[in-house]
């Protein structure tokens, strides 16, 4: 076998090896990318579940005498802001600024709901409303799911971002358009979902007469 033939065979073998590596690397990154998309869909599902609970919760609480209207308005406005900050459901966000805006809107809704529930403690008559107690339980479960799904999303993004930044995969990722994806930012106390506790034995807040 001539030297030129050996060189040709070696080059063909090298091309085959590189081709197999490229196919395997590409498929692996696609799988991780799809994993982030699937987990993002789960995040949006639980956030949508919370948003869907808001109208019924507001209507139920609004039936309590003298309930603070400013609190109800804050919840309604926050829910509207969430609707304006929605991101495409088909894939996980790639723009950190967009994810930050989405997260900020969701955080405002969470804070408004927490305030509503705290204020509700001043109205023991709500205890007799089965609908309110059912919504309370559903909201508590939804907040737990939000915390879980956000954590799983960050784990999926970490696996994907790590894979596309490793050498030599980073060379293939750049050519194939695989770009890093942002995480949900961790905030103080974010690892624990908001507590939804009520003390229905507390007397209602005194009414200040003009």
Nearest to 44 by CA among 91, 101, 96: 91
Placement of tokens 């948003």 in the chain: 51
Residue-averaged pLDDT of the chain: 81
pLDDT in tens, 88-138: 767 889 899 989 999 999 999 999 999 888 888 888 777 667 888 888 889
pLDDT above 70 as % of the chain: 85
181: which residues sit within 8 A by CB, 6+ positions away? Answer: 36, 92, 93, 94, 157, 160, 161
Confidence of residue 68 (pLDDT cuts 50, 70, 90): confident
Average pLDDT rounded to a whole number, residues 31-39: 93
Q: Among 119-123, 140-144, 157-161, which stretch is predicted with the lowest mean pLDDT?
A: 119-123
pLDDT in tens, 174-205: 888 899 999 998 654 444 444 444 343 444 44
Average pLDDT rounded to a whole number, residues 2-17: 77
Average pLDDT rounded to a whole number, residues 140-169: 92
Which pTM does this prediction carry? Answer: 0.77
Average pLDDT rounded to a whole number, residues 35-55: 93
DSSP secondary structure string, the chain? Answer: --HHHHHHHHHHHHHHHHHHHHHHHHHHHHHHHHHHHHHHHHHHHHHHHHHHHHHHHHHHHHTSTT--HHHHHHHHHHHHHHHHT---SSS----HHHHHHHHHHHHHHHHHHHHHHHHHTT-GGGGG-HHHHHHHHHHHHHHHHHHHHHHHHHHHHHHHHHHHHSTTHHHHHHHHT----PPPPP-TTTTSPPP----TTSPPPPPPP-
Q: How far apart are CA 189 and CA 195, in angstroms?
A: 11
In terms of C-beta distances under 8 Å and separation of at least 24 residues, what long-range contacts does 202-208 make, across chains too?
A: 202/121, 202/122, 202/124, 203/124, 204/122, 204/123, 204/124, 205/122, 207/66
Q: Residue 83 above 60 pLDDT?
A: yes
Angle at the Cα of 18 (from 13 to 24), degrees rounded to 5? 125
Q: How many residues are present in the chain? A: 210
- Domains within the chain, CATH numbers bracketed: 22-176 (1.20.1440.20)
């Amino acid at each position: 076998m001539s030297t030129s033939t050996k060189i040709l065979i070696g080059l063909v073998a090298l091309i085959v090896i590189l081709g197999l590596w490229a196919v395997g690397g590409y498929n692996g990154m696609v799988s991780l990318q799809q994993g982030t998309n699937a987990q993002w869909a789960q995040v949006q599902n639980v956030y949508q579940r919370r948003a869907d609970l808001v109208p019924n919760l507001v209507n139920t609480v609004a039936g309590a005498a003298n309930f603070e209207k400013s609190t109800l308005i804050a919840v309604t406005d926050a829910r509207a802001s969430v609707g304006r900050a929605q991101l495409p459901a088909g894939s996980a966000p790639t723009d950190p600024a967009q994810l930050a805006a989405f997260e900020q809107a969701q955080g405002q809704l969470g804070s408004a709901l927490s305030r509503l529930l705290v204020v509700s403690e001043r109205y023991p008559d709500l205890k007799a409303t089965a609908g309110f107690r059912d919504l309370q339980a559903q909201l508590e479960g939804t907040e737990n799911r939000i915390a879980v799904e956000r954590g799983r999303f960050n784990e999926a993004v970490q696996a994907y971002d790590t894979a596309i930044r490793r050498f030599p995969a980073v060379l293939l990722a750049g050519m194939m358009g695989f770009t890093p994806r942002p995480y949900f930012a961790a905030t103080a106390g974010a690892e624990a979902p908001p507590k939804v506790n009520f003390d229905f034995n507390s007397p209602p807040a005194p009414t200040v007469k003009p």
